């Protein structure tokens, strides 16, 4: 199996606080990979480091064959077109409508005709399960769940190989959350995506993830499939997964 | 809300506390005072009776537990009588969780020297980060100047409208009033010497060279500088900036450069408008107060005010605009992930940009005078 992301010996320090002290993990092509851990353990920080929003202090991160510590501007731009990122609250551009949000990368990076772009946008809106009639609404006019779906549609606009999701189901009601999970599974099989996500939602973790990394106490406490997780003796894993396994 | 009562009975060596009713947060304090005021020296037994208690909340349970512990520590034999299982459960819960609260650490005292050091260091780091921002700005500028396509004309036009055209009204009004006030005050002095006509020289030079650019800059700093900070700060909080970065859209290209360029283009035009309105204000006063007709005023104006005064005022425009826009945007990017810092940074942005404009004006003033312009 081909590895698309490789994190080796990453250290992160905020001021005097050490967040990561030598993280190692690798993510394979085509899998849905979860970053889990107690709050404040630096899951989102690691995700932000993978998408070049945050610098790390030591170690290496390789994403799609690019080493992030030595990447130059042009390579970084190419890389950014190959992934999609869904932020926790969607992070839609508030001055643009949903359709404009989704079409923005297409307008900026391609020379497709307006008509073609509109068709692509309509397709992406359909694929994430939004209503095409809502496309002209502004982010302030839609619900949290719709924002996430629109954010997902925008992340998928350029047909990325790799998708990063930051707590995709947080803030959704249980029914929408389960719908979102099945949407993610469906998209993976439809589009052949590799997905990296941070999640707290146990149900979603069991339903969607192929493999997980658990960050606890600045280190990786466990990496592997969920089936073997009870073998680990981290206190976080015991309390978090204990009930579910009973 | 039914109240609780506390009955104290004392026999030799034994103190009985009988609680009844609902013991909650609201009734706790009086009981606490009663218990604390008990002269407690010769008692060796304490009996807490909760049999008549119908309800006990966790705060009251903490209180009871404290009594229990403090008396036990003094060597008093404490007995607790209760028959209600809910109350016992509450007490048990409090007992098991109370110990888990570690006393909150207070910040350790720091010496004045340490705090001065921290203050200086913080500001030094802030200054460095502003320099970093300027460097980054320069680097992206160089990068995007490579191609004409990279200029975001739509955004620039939008910003020109937002911070330029929509500001014309307020700038015209302010500078008109400033012209009026300056003329009115000096008319009074000039009349004493019969030097009425010199009002034209005075107004012409002061408004064109200094006042119009400064007034415009101050209005723009208050109007657009604060808007830039708040807009970009809010975008940072909603992660819109991060979203842009991950999509490979440099915020510098999309947000920063268009705003700076728009303001630099529009500022000289606004100063020009401020010039006109300021002079008109002066003209009105000259006409009404000093009896100088507008023809005479304009004749004299043409004669004594060299074009250089006008150009000096206009040339300052782009510089002021650059300062206001960069400080406003920089402050927006400095917003942290909480709403309070938007307010903090907006205030800072306006104060710092007005200060920077005045410093810049002082430098220009000295420079131009020494150059003999």
CATH number (domain holding residue B12): 3.30.750.24
- How far, rounded to the nearest angstrom, does the alpha carbon of residue A210 sit from its chain's CA centroid? 14
Confidence of residue B121 (pLDDT cuts 50, 70, 90): very high
Closest A-chain CA to B244: A93
Confidence of residue B96 (pLDDT cuts 50, 70, 90): confident
Distances (CA, A) of A82 to A64, A122, B243: 9, 21, 14
Q: Where are the beta strands (DSSP E) in B226-304?
A: none
Q: Where are the beta strands (DSSP E) in B75-133?
A: 77-81
User: Do A183 and A227 share a domain, yes or no?
Assistant: yes
Q: What is the pLDDT of residues A47-72, one digit of tens each?
A: 999 999 988 888 999 998 889 888 88
Confidence of residue B99 (pLDDT cuts 50, 70, 90): low
Closest B-chain CA to A93: B240
Closest B-chain CA to A105: B247
B65 within 8 A of B88, measured Cβ to Cβ: no
- C-alpha torsion A10→A12→A16→A19, nearest 10: -90
Of the candidates B234, B243, B249, the beta carbon closest to that of A108 is on B249
Q: Is residue B76 part of a domain?
A: yes
Confidence of residue B119 (pLDDT cuts 50, 70, 90): very high
Does the beta-carbon distance from B246 to A80 stay under 8 Å? yes
Q: Is the pLDDT of residue A24 over 70?
A: yes
Q: Is residue B247 part of a domain?
A: yes
Instruction: Round to whole Å and give the CA distance between A66 and A53.
Output: 15
User: Do A71 and A169 share a domain, yes or no?
Assistant: yes
pLDDT of residue B141: 80
Instruction: Round to whole Å and give the CA distance between A66 and A187.
Output: 25
CA atoms within 13 A on the CB side of A6: 10
Q: Is the pLDDT of residue B103 over 60?
A: no
Answer whether A18 touches B (CB < 8 Å): no
Q: Give A129 or B312, the one with higher predicted confidence.
A: B312
User: Do A147 and A104 share a domain, yes or no?
Assistant: yes
pLDDT of residue B349: 94
Confidence of residue B160 (pLDDT cuts 50, 70, 90): very high
Q: What is the b/e burial string over B232-258, where b = at least 16 CB atoms within 10 angstroms of the residue's CB? A: bbebbbbbbbbbbbbbbbbbbbbbbbb
Confidence of residue B223 (pLDDT cuts 50, 70, 90): very high
Q: What is the pLDDT of residues A157-166, one digit of tens each?
A: 888 889 999 9
Hey, what are B368's tokens?
């131009």
pLDDT of residue B1: 46
A11 within 8 A of A18, measured Cβ to Cβ: yes
Confidence of residue B353 (pLDDT cuts 50, 70, 90): very high
Shortest alpha-carbon distance between residue B49 and chain A (Å): 39
Of the candidates B143, B240, B247, the beta carbon closest to that of A94 is on B240
Residue finishing a domain among A114, A132, A159: A159
| Average pLDDT taken over every residue of chain B | 87
Show the domain range for B18. Answer: 5-98
pLDDT of residue A120: 86
User: Do B46 and B142 share a domain, yes or no?
Assistant: no
Residue finishing a domain among B127, B150, B173: B150
User: Stretch A10-32: mean pLDDT, rounded?
Assistant: 89
Q: Is the pLDDT of residue A229 over 90?
A: no
Answer whether A80 touches B (CB < 8 Å): yes
Shortest alpha-carbon distance between residue B299 and chain A (Å): 51
A212 within 8 A of A197, measured Cβ to Cβ: no
Tally of domains in chain B: 3
Q: What is the pLDDT of residues A210-228, one digit of tens each?
A: 898 888 888 888 888 888 7
Show the domain range for A71. Answer: 1-82+162-246
Closest B-chain CA to A156: B247
Q: Which of A121-130, B227-236, B266-275, B302-311 is predicted least confidently?
A: A121-130
Q: Specify the DSSP class assigned to residue A135.
A: T
Query: Number of A:B CB contacts under 8 A?
Result: 49
Confidence of residue B27 (pLDDT cuts 50, 70, 90): confident
User: Within a 10 A sphere around the Cβ of B177, how many other Cβ atoms?
Assistant: 14
Shortest alpha-carbon distance between residue A210 and chain B (Å): 25
Q: What residue has token string 């998209």?
A: A187
Q: Is residue B348 part of a domain?
A: yes
User: Do A3 and A60 share a domain, yes or no?
Assistant: yes
Residue finishing a domain among A139, A159, A179: A159
Does the beta-carbon distance from B143 to A92 stay under 8 Å? no
User: Do A77 and A181 share a domain, yes or no?
Assistant: yes
Percent of chain A scored above 70 by pLDDT? 98
Q: What is the pLDDT of residues A137-194, one digit of tens each?
A: 998 888 888 898 899 999 988 888 899 999 888 888 888 888 888 888 888 888 888 9
pLDDT of residue B100: 55
Does the beta-carbon distance from A87 to B239 stay under 8 Å? yes
User: Do B288 and B190 share a domain, yes or no?
Assistant: yes
User: Do B247 and B179 share a domain, yes or no?
Assistant: yes
Closest A-chain CA to B236: A91
User: Do A33 and A1 share a domain, yes or no?
Assistant: yes
User: Do A246 and A166 share a domain, yes or no?
Assistant: yes
Instruction: Round to whole Å and give the CA distance between A66 and A6.
Output: 10
User: Within a 10 A sphere around the Cβ of A233, how many other Cβ atoms?
Assistant: 9
Does the beta-carbon distance from B245 to A52 stay under 8 Å? yes
Q: Is residue B111 part of a domain?
A: no
Which secondary structure element, helix H or strand E, spans residue B222, and what is its range? none
């Amino acid at each position: 199996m081909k590895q698309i992301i490789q994190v080796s010996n990453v250290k992160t320090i905020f001021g005097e606080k050490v967040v990561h002290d030598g993280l190692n993990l690798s993510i394979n092509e085509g899998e849905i990979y979860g970053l889990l851990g107690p709050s404040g353990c630096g899951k989102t920080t690691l995700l932000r480091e993978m998408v070049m929003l945050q610098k790390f202090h030591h170690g290496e991160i390789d994403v799609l064959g690019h080493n992030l510590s030595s990447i130059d501007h042009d390579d970084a731009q190419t890389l950014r077109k190959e992934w999609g990122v869904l932020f926790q609250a969607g992070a839609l551009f508030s001055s643009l409508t949903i359709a404009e949000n989704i079409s923005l990368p297409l307008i900026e990076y391609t020379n497709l005709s307006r008509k073609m772009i509109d068709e692509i946008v309509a397709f992406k809106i359909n694929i994430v399960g939004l209503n095409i009639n809502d496309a002209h609404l502004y982010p302030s006019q839609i619900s949290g769940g719709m924002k996430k779906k629109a954010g997902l549609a925008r992340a998928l606009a350029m047909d990325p190989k790799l998708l990063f999701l930051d707590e995709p189901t947080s803030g959704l009601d249980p029914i929408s959350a389960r719908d979102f999970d099945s949407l993610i599974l469906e998209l993976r099989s439809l589009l052949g995506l590799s997905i990296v996500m941070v999640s707290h939602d146990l149900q979603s973790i069991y339903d969607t993830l192929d493999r997980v990394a658990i960050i606890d106490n600045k280190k990786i406490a466990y990496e592997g499939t969920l089936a073997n997780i009870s073998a680990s003796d981290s206190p976080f894993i015991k309390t978090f997964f204990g009930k579910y396994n009973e | 809300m039914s109240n609780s009562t506390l009955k104290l009975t004392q026999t030799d060596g034994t103190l009985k506390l009988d609680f009844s009713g609902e013991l909650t947060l609201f009734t706790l304090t009086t009981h606490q005072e009663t218990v604390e005021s008990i002269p407690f020296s010769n008692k060796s037994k304490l009996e807490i009776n909760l049999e008549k208690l119908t309800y006990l909340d966790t705060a009251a349970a903490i209180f009871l537990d404290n009594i229990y512990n403090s008396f036990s520590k003094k060597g008093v034999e404490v007995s607790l009588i209760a028959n209600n299982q809910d109350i016992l459960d509450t007490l048990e819960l409090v007992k098991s969780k109370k110990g888990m609260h570690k006393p909150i650490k207070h910040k350790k005292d720091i010496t004045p020297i340490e705090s001065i050091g921290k203050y200086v260091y913080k500001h030094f780091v802030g200054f460095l980060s502003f320099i970093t921002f300027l460097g980054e700005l320069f680097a992206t500028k160089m990068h995007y100047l490579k191609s004409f396509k990279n200029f975001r004309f739509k955004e620039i036009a939008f910003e020109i409208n937002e911070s330029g055209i929509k500001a014309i009204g307020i700038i015209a009004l302010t500078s008109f009033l400033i012209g009026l006030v300056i003329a009115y005050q000096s008319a009074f002095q000039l009349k004493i010497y019969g030097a009425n006509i010199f009002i034209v020289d005075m107004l012409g030079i002061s408004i064109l060279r200094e006042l119009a650019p400064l007034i415009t800059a101050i209005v723009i700093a208050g109007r657009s500088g604060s808007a830039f900070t708040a807009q970009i700060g809010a975008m940072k909080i909603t992660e819109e900036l991060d979203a842009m970065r991950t999509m490979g859209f440099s915020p510098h290209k999309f947000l920063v450069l268009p705003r700076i360029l728009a303001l630099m283009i529009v500022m000289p035009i606004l100063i020009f408008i401020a010039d006109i309105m300021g002079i008109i204000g002066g003209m009105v006063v000259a006409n009404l107060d000093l009896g100088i007709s507008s023809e005479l005023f304009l004749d004299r104006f043409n004669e004594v005010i060299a074009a250089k005064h006008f150009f000096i005022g206009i040339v300052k425009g782009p510089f002021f605009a650059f300062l206001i826009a960069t400080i406003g945007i920089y402050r927006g990017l400095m917003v942290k992930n909480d709403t309070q810092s938007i307010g903090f940074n907006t205030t800072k942005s306006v104060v710092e940009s007005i200060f920077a404009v005045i410093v810049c004006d002082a430098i220009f003033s000295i420079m131009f005078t020494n150059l003999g312009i």
